[in-house]
Structure 1
């Protein structure tokens, strides 16, 4: 891209930001005397329990402990025809476990990314990767950056840049094979981000957030409805400021603006528009490479100081993302609706110097820093869906909720070449390094994958207690990838993905469920350390079985217990350091959670998962029967919130998050130890000058424990040091 084009794009981005901020200020002036905003509706997933009648933990913000994710189930009884103005339609009644983090919890815990927001849920762990994106694993499986993160249950957004949460009403982890709903998707689940929308009452707020390392970010949130019958709605969020964390000499900046608009054109026709534009520039620390094995075992170094910058202040990760989603809903009859939506998500990684420390001495720390210079990476997702939903009866006992739809997805990337620079560095006592200089020409090797899906499924209710859901999706998939040497790689396949689920209402507050689903998943991009770095692999068929129980019979606490069995293709580095699909892995586990309010002062959430994961069918026999890399054998979390009556509006919270040992590679030649992170938080809501004001203070990694938080793709990831964050928000 030439400098003129780059400057033009920058001017457009600035114009968008200025215009949106101007709109925010204008609306803020018009709503300065408005009352405290009414609570926004959560995702419809929170309340979709019409069949089980079981109360849902987390349906009310006041019941959700900070830093926790409540657990609920999607109900098969509600079709799209029953939905009103909720943000998400992500499950459409398929029985699966859904962990929900409310807006209240996001405000209280101030998470840096999706992992910190969701880590209170069972089976959530950190995936291998740097701190520049939202790295989440569900049930031991790392989510894929192109297909596993969705906006409003629809548009797949690129997870190559830490995603903003200021404009989100909630965040959801949908566990289970979701290919019937989304086409190409991870068998472990997806993360769904639900945007805020304008409510019936105007809202306006300004906020500030930061940390004790010098980070400071301001934000504004304004929403209102207008028109003769309030048929138009708009919600504008904007944020920006200086970034910093515990790393020495690490700093950057971020900018973000979003608009969520809707139009109730008539009693039958409505439209929604979501637009996000954000960019981030920050210093990226080095990862630590694995040493060569000695007698079949890889020696691990002592955990280095997480405050030390191994790369350099020049190691800037600079990226820009833009997401847009348009949806229309039409109510054909009282029982039948049709929706159509289309969207586009683009992420440009303008500048990245990704470095890894290799060949270091375990005693002295002296080694070699390998920096890979990447420039001008561009990732574009395009999405479209048309779907009809309806309900009808056959006979006096059977009630059907039928869904028929077609969906299109495409994923493009230019996949530019990278240049490697080697420099001496010390793991334990890093020295200041000069910035590497790009001298090699950049060669683009574009890749494109497409999938078109036609699907149908029916939820049949038998009486008031029993529901069976059956469905099928046909997916036509193609992949074209340019190669540096030789002809382009082409892959094309057609897959039929069946799904079936059963839900039984044992009593008004308890339900049993079982499900079986299959589908395709893209197996990810080759890591930067691989010979075929950034290459996309063909998709693999994945299967999941799950049975479980959900209940609120135990003193009203929301309780879940589930067993799952996931079978998927194994993507891994072979002996030649080539990333490819080789063998299959099975993940069998039990997860459980319990939480809710003990009384008006105390609430809690306890969640855990035991996981037995093994690989088979690999070409290398030493990889069979081993534990997949970066897969903890257990996770455990507990959070407690106390609201003292002597100080109305105040709250104190404490959290414990433990992750089990994880293999550093699929050969199990070493394991990073289990680790525990503790958190403390305090919140206070009061009125200052007549305006509702909310203050929050949080300490992450309270004991400043040094640990490796993840391992995989030949890398070790150092967990973050202790951080202290604060925020303040005033509502007008």
Structure 2
């Protein structure tokens, strides 16, 4: 089987190969720049530099009396570990990102660790195309939008390419090697999902080098975290591999409320025979955060209030949001003969969610609100499987990379009886305390809906010559959705079959540059009327989306850049003036997505990205027709810099800024959320302590303590996170 190694020689698939940096792909890629993940930048003030330097050294100094500390030479470039060159493209298989006719963004484990990111929004805060819709301290979880389109919580998240349900929950980032975001439609590549995109989490697995890592961390207000990561290959010729990861988080959040999170994962693999590998992995997490807010909404005629401080707790101290997730996956990979491979995989996810949190309705322009306690228990289940064959065929001078197969994904929502209890009246300008009614959360469950999608797909990547190639892909989807009444009877059934084509042309006049045009169609699941609407629980049939994209990707020595023009067309769902959630009309998004990275000598790295967007609703409802799409900023931008101090080897400073423009909160544009700009600074120090690698990190996010609103779906608001400090020490044995 062809080995998959990254451009810096590190194996991306240690399960299948014995880390041979001299293989064909490694030789082809060696010597090209590994620049950084799209990020942010900030001019560091002398005070900030002094504080961060003190923070990094303070950890080292605690060890100085008993051990020897020696600074360790860092990476060859400031950004080399942030740049990914190979990624999964679903049904298209694993490809070099330069050869994919789509926009793909990758957060590597090094970037995630250096940013001390805890959510997917933080992991991609350097990509201007990815914007936060919520946060998992002030709100229930970290929701994101890609190019203004919310990621589908039922079908938009994958683990190793297979679907996993994340209904108001977050996957623990510590267990994953990298996260890949496919921007836009995924119809052929991944099948059924919204046009926002796909987030694919790649599981950490045993590599050829042993892994023994322990880290401890601290965050505002008094959050703490401990993690252990152990990986080994063993047996004859390293036949077996095992990677185990465990995380515990506790303490008090910046809302002065408790948090507790425990997660553990294990990934096992065995080389059954040459070219035949079986993998098995599992992940479990239980997370409970107090003081979280279900959402804040505005009564009719009420103006948008000014944003509140992110550290102000709007909910009661007895409220909480708790989720558990349990996932298991297995895959068999077989190199049948020559270039022909087979992959057979299955993944199951089970999730529970308990709401005992506040819902605020602002009733007047003075900031007065009614506070309700939402009590709700629910379950979400998903199962997915795929069978994929891939190989190469030669027809004269023309070569073909062929893939074909089938997949299935099923999602099920099981709800409990919903409880809504009025607590009292408060005001956004002050803390208000109410007594805990002490009511139970009803755990009597009934099935609300289930969906099933079976797909059959095939594609041909045709290499006409050394410069020109084209992709022809076709997926047939058979989609069924059932909705149920409280007594278990079926209330609605939707069945739809559709063909989803993917067409693309790629021109590579040189090995380091590619121009492409692509067209994709996709099906997405219809929405469900939210709690605040009069037709709550009503579900709608699937929608069809289309995407057109033209772009360029370029890699140079010490720099890289990409740009994409795109247009997305999809069906429109919104809450009308009668407070009824409906599916009617259409909307379009078009824009320009650009990003670039540059290394200035050995010490400086700069990264930047920006997205220009224009969106428009088309509807028979005059209050919505021609208005901007909700939660879409016309302009977002991010800039980041990293500086390796040449006089103190191992010390790196970083800084960034991120701008998000104004957004419409609802489809009728009744409220416009103001723009905001965030600044971050950080420092890390890599050293040898007693002969072992140690990395000290400190990050200060939202340096200026900007107050801002995040607009979530259906006109809900969540306060943005305040200034937060994170510090950690990582020990590698």
Instruction: Quote the offset at 1:619 in angstroms.
Output: 3.3
Residue 286 in structure 1 maps to residue 293 in structure 2 = yes
Instruction: Quote the offset at 1:160 in angstroms.
Output: 2.6
Structure 1 counterpart of 2:246:
238
Mapped contact 1:595–1:603 kept (Cα < 8 A): yes
Q: Distance in 2 between matches of 1:565 and 1:494?
A: 24
Change (3 A) 1:403 1:706: same
Higher mean C-alpha displacement, 182-191 vs 638-647: 182-191
Mapped contact 1:134–1:159 kept (Cα < 8 A): no
Change (3 A) 1:293 1:160: closer
Higher mean C-alpha displacement, 645-654 vs 116-125: 116-125
User: Equivalent of 2:313, from 303, 309, 312?
Assistant: 309
Q: Distance in 2 between matches of 1:371 and 1:657?
A: 34
State the TM-score, normalizing by the size of structure 1.
0.87
Q: Distance in 1 between matches of 2:90 and 2:699?
A: 40
Instruction: Quote the offset at 1:230 in angstroms.
Output: 0.5
**Pairwise mapping of residues 258-657 of structure 1 onto structure 2 (< 5 A)?**
258-286=265-293, 289-294=296-301, 298-349=302-353, 351-363=354-366, 365-375=367-377, 377-396=378-397, 398-424=398-424, 425-438=426-439, 442=444, 444-484=446-486, 487-533=490-536, 536-553=539-556, 556-616=558-618, 618-657=619-658
Residue 229 in structure 1 maps to residue 237 in structure 2 = yes
Mapped contact 1:236–1:258 kept (Cα < 8 A): yes
Instruction: Quote the offset at 1:524 in angstroms.
Output: 4.1
- 1:16-40: CA deviation from partner (whole Å, max 9, x where unpaired): xxxxxxxxxxxxxxxxxxxxxx966
Instruction: Quote the offset at 1:722 in angstroms.
Output: 0.5
Structure 2 counterpart of 1:715:
716
Structure 2 counterpart of 1:205:
213
Q: Distance in 2 between matches of 1:413 and 1:289?
A: 24
Mapped contact 1:209–1:725 kept (Cα < 8 A): yes
Change (3 A) 1:62 1:562: farther
Instruction: Quote the offset at 1:523 in angstroms.
Output: 3.7
User: Equivalent of 2:263, from 249, 252, 256?
Assistant: 256
- Give secondary structure in 1 for the equivalent of 2:623: helix
Higher mean C-alpha displacement, 696-705 vs 183-192: 183-192
Q: Distance in 1 between matches of 2:653 and 2:545?
A: 43
Structure 1 counterpart of 2:22:
none
Higher mean C-alpha displacement, 143-152 vs 279-288: 279-288
Structure 2 counterpart of 1:729:
730
5+ long unaligned stretches in structure 2: 1-8, 17-24, 38-73
Higher mean C-alpha displacement, 458-467 vs 145-154: 145-154
Structure 1 counterpart of 2:188:
180
Structure 2 counterpart of 1:4:
none
Q: Distance in 2 between matches of 1:417 and 1:535?
A: 16
Q: Distance in 1 between matches of 2:616 and 2:636?
A: 17
Residue 111 in structure 1 maps to residue 117 in structure 2 = yes
- 1:386-406: CA deviation from partner (whole Å, max 9, x where unpaired): 11111010112x100111110
- Give secondary structure in 2 for the equivalent of 1:393: strand
Q: Distance in 1 between matches of 2:89 and 2:210?
A: 34
Mapped contact 1:90–1:154 kept (Cα < 8 A): no
- Give secondary structure in 2 for the equivalent of 1:713: helix
- Give secondary structure in 2 for the equivalent of 1:229: helix
- 1:414-460: CA deviation from partner (whole Å, max 9, x where unpaired): 12231111122222212222223447965624311000000001000
Mapped contact 1:75–1:95 kept (Cα < 8 A): no
Residue 164 in structure 1 maps to residue 172 in structure 2 = yes
- 1:614-647: CA deviation from partner (whole Å, max 9, x where unpaired): 110x231220111111111111000000000111
Q: Distance in 1 between matches of 2:79 and 2:441?
A: 52
- Give secondary structure in 1 for the equivalent of 2:446: coil
- Give secondary structure in 2 for the equivalent of 1:498: strand
Q: Distance in 1 between matches of 2:135 and 2:690?
A: 45
Q: Distance in 2 between matches of 1:458 and 1:322?
A: 36
Higher mean C-alpha displacement, 569-578 vs 285-294: 285-294
Residue 696 in structure 1 maps to residue 664 in structure 2 = no
Q: Distance in 2 between matches of 1:416 and 1:576?
A: 27
- Give secondary structure in 1 for the equivalent of 2:246: strand
Mapped contact 2:506–2:515 kept (Cα < 8 A): yes
Change (3 A) 1:93 1:504: closer
- Give secondary structure in 1 for the equivalent of 2:140: coil
Instruction: Quote the offset at 1:260 in angstroms.
Output: 1.1
User: Equivalent of 1:120, from 100, 120, 126?
Assistant: 126
- Give secondary structure in 2 for the equivalent of 1:332: strand
Mapped contact 2:469–2:507 kept (Cα < 8 A): yes
Mapped contact 1:586–1:614 kept (Cα < 8 A): yes
User: Equivalent of 2:35, from 46, 51, 57?
Assistant: 57
Change (3 A) 1:56 1:729: closer
Change (3 A) 1:386 1:71: closer
C-alpha RMSD of the superposition: 2.9
- Give secondary structure in 2 for the equivalent of 1:481: strand
Q: Distance in 2 between matches of 1:449 and 1:48?
A: 42
- Give secondary structure in 2 for the equivalent of 1:108: helix
Higher relative contact order (CA 8 A, sep 6+): 2
Number of matched pairs: 675
Change (3 A) 1:693 1:526: farther
Structure 2 counterpart of 1:667:
668
- 1:538-591: CA deviation from partner (whole Å, max 9, x where unpaired): 2210110100111124x6411111100001112222233233322111000001
Change (3 A) 1:440 1:209: closer
Mapped contact 2:250–2:258 kept (Cα < 8 A): yes
Mapped contact 1:76–1:92 kept (Cα < 8 A): no
Structure 1 counterpart of 2:49:
none
User: Equivalent of 1:41, from 12, 15, 33?
Assistant: 12
Change (3 A) 1:729 1:55: closer
